Amino acid sequence: MLPAIETQGLTRRFGQHVAVDAISMTVPERSIYGFLGRNGAGKTTAIKLLLGLLQPDAGQARIAGIDLTSDRLGAARKVGALLEAQGFYPHLSGQQNLDLTRRLLGLPKSEIERVLEVAEMTAHGRRRVADYSLGMRQRLGLARAMLGAPPVLILDEPTNGLDPEGIADMRGFLRDLPARSGATVLLSSHLLGEIEQVATHIGILSHGRLVLEGALADLKAGMANEVAIETDMPERAVLIAREHGFDVEQTHDALVARFAPREDARSAAAALNRVLCVAGIRIHVLAPRQRTLEILYRNAARAAEPAALA
């Protein structure tokens, strides 16, 4: 089975700045791939490379098996995109905006009704886009991306600017999308909580490099078990624990002890507790931490910091 999107060593520089640094990513078919990274990490540049809007300095990208460099039009036929700047003509209605793209794609008129229905925008199709709320524009953008039922959807920050209710709506919509349309979704965002609730796979971008990629469930299963410790002597606790070979770190809100994924976390936590108590350190709380995308992301990003690499 061909991956929906595959890149090898994809690189793009702007002068001396390497915006996308030798990214090799694989987006499995029918997955929802969360493309994560903070602002400026290179997500939008990578997406523009995947859409053929920018030329790579090195590497290649394939969309549904079609090489983007040698056959841009062929690859573009496989993709629908929602870009950060939605790009609608405000003086025209939602339907008319969709109709312009439909004509350029050479699709039948019935496609407009279909995508409006999928995006739950049928009731608003005749209104001018200038009168749309931001959430409605995002939905119209999704409808436009789905014109022609492309097998790959690339959505750049689709929840940007939405209120909490709009974000919840969008989340539900995106979660159902592969089942409803059969499409693979590449979803860029910096909202970890949102990605965690919809993504089946993730790729984490930091300083232009892809530092982690895989199925979210597998990555979480492979995470170290973490235990949060609250004590009134955190610095001493760190020293004692490290002397006894424990991996302990002081974060902004607590001490965090990490145990290897295959380690018996309960026994290890009990052993750490015993060591600290024997050293006279009072433990107020010792609680397991959930394996969250946030922790996964933080660990990956921290490991990829330039200082850590040096």
Partner 1 sequence: MTGTTPMPHATPARFATALAVEAYKLRRSLALLLAAVAPLLIAVFVFFNLMRFEKATPWTMTLYSSAAIWAFFMLPMSVTALTALVAHTEHGPRTLDHLRALPLPRWHLYAAKAVCVLGVVAAMSLLLAMLTLFVVELAGWLKPAVAASGTPDIAGYLALLGRIFLAAWLLVAVQLWIALRYASFVPALAVGIGGTFFAVVATTAKIGAFLPWQIPVNQLATDPARAQLALTLGGIGGCIVFAAMLWQLSRREVLD
CA distances in angstroms from 8 to 49, 58, 302, listed in the order given: 12, 9, 24
Rounded Cα distance, 9 and 217, in Å: 26
Nearer Cβ to partner 1 (17/284)? 17
Nearer Cβ to partner 1 (79/205)? 79
Q: How far is the CB of 5 from partner 1 (least distance, A)?
A: 11
Q: How far is the CB of 2 from partner 1 (least distance, A)?
A: 6
Nearer Cβ to partner 1 (106/164)? 106
Rounded Cα distance, 200 and 269, in Å: 30
Residues 6 or more apart whose CB falls under 8 angstroms from that of 148 comprise: 77, 80, 105, 107, 111
Q: How far is the CB of 49 from partner 1 (least distance, A)?
A: 10
Binding site for partner 1 (CB under 8 A): 1-2, 4, 29-30, 48, 51-55, 64-65, 72-74, 76-77, 79, 81, 83, 85-92, 96, 99-101, 103-108, 111, 144, 148-151, 181-184
Q: How far is the CB of 172 from partner 1 (least distance, A)?
A: 22
Rounded Cα distance, 74 and 70, in Å: 9
CA distances in angstroms from 306 to 80, 192, 211, listed in the order given: 35, 22, 12
Nearer Cβ to partner 1 (88/173)? 88
Please give the torsion angle defined by the CA atoms of residues 11, 17, 19 and 24, in that order, rounded to the nearest 10 degrees.
30
| Radius of gyration of the chain, Cα coordinates, nearest whole angstrom | 23
Nearer Cβ to partner 1 (89/264)? 89
Nearest to 6 by CA among 60, 62, 45: 62
Q: How far is the CB of 37 from partner 1 (least distance, A)?
A: 19
Structure tokens at 137: 């524009």
Nearer Cβ to partner 1 (45/206)? 45
Rounded Cα distance, 92 and 110, in Å: 19
Three-state DSSP class for residue 94: helix
Q: How far is the CB of 116 from partner 1 (least distance, A)?
A: 15
* Amino acid (1-letter code) at residue 232: D
Q: How far is the CB of 88 from partner 1 (least distance, A)?
A: 6
